[in-house]
């Protein structure tokens, strides 16, 4: 998920992440890949492990801020590398 991680490096706010997810031309990564990488990174940075519950919480947070992605696909991607 290096492409998604590289794209997220330039994001400073949640709004930046949501814009990246919603802009189909912003990165070669799919919205689900970006959301999954954000959720994994956020769970780690918050001091939690990468569990389904922690990743789901961060994905839900993105949706609340207006991110448009396939939630089920994002959770599978986020947990695939655990």
Q: How many domains does the chain have?
A: 1
> For residue 35, what are the contacts with CB-CB under 8 A and spacing of at least 6?
21, 59, 62, 67, 69, 74, 78
Alpha-carbon span 20 to 14, nearest angstrom: 10
Which domain does 41 fall in, by range? 2-80
User: pTM of the entire structure?
Assistant: 0.88
The 10s digit of each residue's pLDDT in 13-72 is 999 999 999 998 888 889 999 999 999 999 999 988 899 999 999 999 999 999 999 999
């Amino acid at each position: 998920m290096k492409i998604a991680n590289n794209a997220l490096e330039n994001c400073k706010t949640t709004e930046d992440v949501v814009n990246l997810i919603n802009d189909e031309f912003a990165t070669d990564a799919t919205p689900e890949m970006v959301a999954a990488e954000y959720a994994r990174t956020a769970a780690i940075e918050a001091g939690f492990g990468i569990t389904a519950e922690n990743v789901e919480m961060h994905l839900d947070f993105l949706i609340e801020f207006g991110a448009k992605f396939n939630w089920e696909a994002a959770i599978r991607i986020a947990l695939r590398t655990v």
